[in-house]
Amino acid sequence: MIVEPAQRTQGVREYYFSRKNPEIARLSAERTARGEDPVINLGIGAPDRMPPAAAIEKLRSSALLHDSHKYQNYRGLPELREAFASWYARYYGVTLDPARDIQPLAGSKEGIMLISMAFVNPGDKVLVPDPGYPTYTSASMMAGAVMVNYPLLPENDWYPDFDALEKQDLKGVKIMWLNYPNMPTGAPATMEVYDRAVAFGRKHNILIINDNPYSFVLTEKPLSIFAAAGSRECCLELNSLSKAHNMSGWRIGMVCGDGDYIAQVLKVKSQMDSGMFRSVQLAAVEALSQGPEWFDELNREYRLRRERVFALYDVLGAEYRRDSAGLFVWGRMSADSRFCPPDEGKTVGERVSDRLLYGAGVFLTPGIVFGKRGSDYVRASLCATAELIDKAREKVAAL
C-alpha cells in the first residue's frame, strides 16, 4: 500500500466469521474430495429455514413494478415504519410514533455503527459487555471510544451487576450496550434488568442501547426495554427480521426510540446510503404481519434443536443452562476434558473447537471470540436441522 490505513482501524481485526468461514469452506472441500462428509457448521447464527411465503411473493411481485427500482426515501417507506410500529404494539405492548420514532436499517448490525458515529466522540467511554457481541467493541473503537468492559458472570445469571457498576468511576461514560435475550450466553430478557438499566441510564446520563434481535426465539413473551418506565429518555433499541423471520440475508432491521435520538442516527445514515430497495421494504411489511402461529411453529422447531444440542453438550461434558433463549447454547468446558488437548497458547474453548473441527468435522465457536470471560466456553448454533445436530453428536462421540 502507498498510504497507511486510518488509525481508527488499527485496533480492529477483520470480523471473526469473515476470517473463519473461508477456512471451513476449504476444509469442507478437502473432506468432500476424500469422500468424507463436509464440515457440520454449528458456529454461526444464520437461520436455515424459509421466510414467510407472503414476504417472498411480495418481493417477487413488487420487483416487477417500475417504481420499485428508483432511489428510496432515506427514512424508509411509511408502510414499513407503520408495520414496525404495529409489530411493537402487538407483541411488545409498546407505542411508537412511526413518523418520528423508527428508522429502518440494513440489518441491526448497521445500527451499531450508526449509533456509535452519531453519539460517540473520541475519548468518550462506552460500557461493553464481556462476553458480548464483538461488533459493540469494534464499532466503538472505530468511533474513537475508550472501552470499559463490564463483566457478565455465571454467578449473576449473565446479567449486569448494576451495584458493582455504581461503584465504578462512570465519568465520561456515554453509552452502555445491552443485549437480551443475550448472545452468546442465552440469558433471557427480564423486565427487572430493563428497569435497572433505565434507572442507571437516567441517573448517570448514559444512553442505553438494547440490541434485541432474539426476543421471539425460545422466549415465553417478547420484551422490549421501552416497556420500562422512563425508557424514552435514555434508551434506543435495535431489532431485526433476521432471526425471528428467517431473513438474515435480506438485511432488514430497525432502530427505535425518541424522535430526537432517531434524527441523529438518520443524519449519519443519510450520508452513507440511499435507502433500502423498495421491494425488500414491502416484503418486510408482509413478514411483520405474521401472527402468533408463525412464532409458535418457529419455536417448536428450535426447542427440538435445542434438546439435540443439549445431548451434544452432554457428550462433551459441557455445562449449560436449560432455559437458554435465542439461537445459541453456551457451554462451559473443562481443561481436563478429553476433548481439550494441551496447548498453552490457546484457551480451553479454542482447543475444544479445534479438536472438534479438525478431528470430527464439527465446528463450534470458541467463546473467546466474545470476550476474555468466554475463554472456557464454546457456542453452538441452533441453525441446523435436528438430524444434522444428531450427526454432529455421533461424530464427536466417536473421537
pLDDT given at position 219:
96
Structural domain containing residue 261: 53-290
Residue 144: inside a domain: yes
Looking at the fold, whether 285 and 359 belong to one and the same domain comes out as no
How many DSSP H helices and E strands does the chain contain? 13, 12
Looking at the fold, whether 233 and 147 belong to one and the same domain comes out as yes
Q: Which residues contact 261 (CB under 8 A, 6 or more apart)?
A: 207, 236
Looking at the fold, whether 286 and 362 belong to one and the same domain comes out as no
Residue 2: inside a domain: no
Looking at the fold, whether 284 and 297 belong to one and the same domain comes out as no
Say if CB 326 and CB 218 are below 8 A apart: yes
Residue 1: inside a domain: no
Looking at the fold, whether 329 and 266 belong to one and the same domain comes out as no
Q: Which residues contact 209 (CB under 8 A, 6 or more apart)?
A: 115, 175, 176, 177, 178, 235, 236, 237, 238
DSSP codes, 340-393:
----TTS-HHHHHHHHHHHHHSEE-EEGGGG-GGGTTEEEEES-S-HHHHHHHH
CA pair distance 325, 220, nearest whole angstrom: 9
Q: Which domain-ending residue is among 290, 305, 333?
A: 290
Work out the angle between the directed axes of helices 16-33 and 348-360 (0-180°, nearest 10): 30
Residue numbers in the chain where pLDDT is lower than 70 = none
DSSP codes, 44-68:
S----SPPPHHHHHHHHHHHTSGGG
Q: Which domain-ending residue is among 290, 311, 344?
A: 290
pLDDT given at position 274:
86
Q: How many independent structural domains does the chain possess?
A: 2
Looking at the fold, whether 15 and 115 belong to one and the same domain comes out as no
Looking at the fold, whether 331 and 242 belong to one and the same domain comes out as no
pLDDT given at position 8:
83
C-alpha cell belonging to residue 50: 424459509
Residue 120: inside a domain: yes
pLDDT given at position 70:
93
Residue whose cell numbers read 451487576: 161
Looking at the fold, whether 88 and 169 belong to one and the same domain comes out as yes
Read off φ and ψ for residue 126, nearest 5 degrees.
-130, 130
Looking at the fold, whether 60 and 101 belong to one and the same domain comes out as yes
Q: Which residues contact 57 (CB under 8 A, 6 or more apart)?
A: 286
Strands 253-257 and 102-105: antiparallel
Is the Cα torsion angle 80, 85, 89, 93 positive or negative in sign? Answer: positive
Q: Which domain-ending residue is among 258, 290, 322?
A: 290
Among candidates 285, 209, 218, 220, which has minimal Cα distance to 247?
285
Looking at the fold, whether 200 and 90 belong to one and the same domain comes out as yes
Among candidates 9, 16, 264, which has minimal Cα distance to 144?
9
Looking at the fold, whether 328 and 284 belong to one and the same domain comes out as no
Q: Which CATH number is 26's domain given? A: 3.90.1150.10
Within 13 Å, how many C-alpha atoms sit on residue 195's CB side? 4
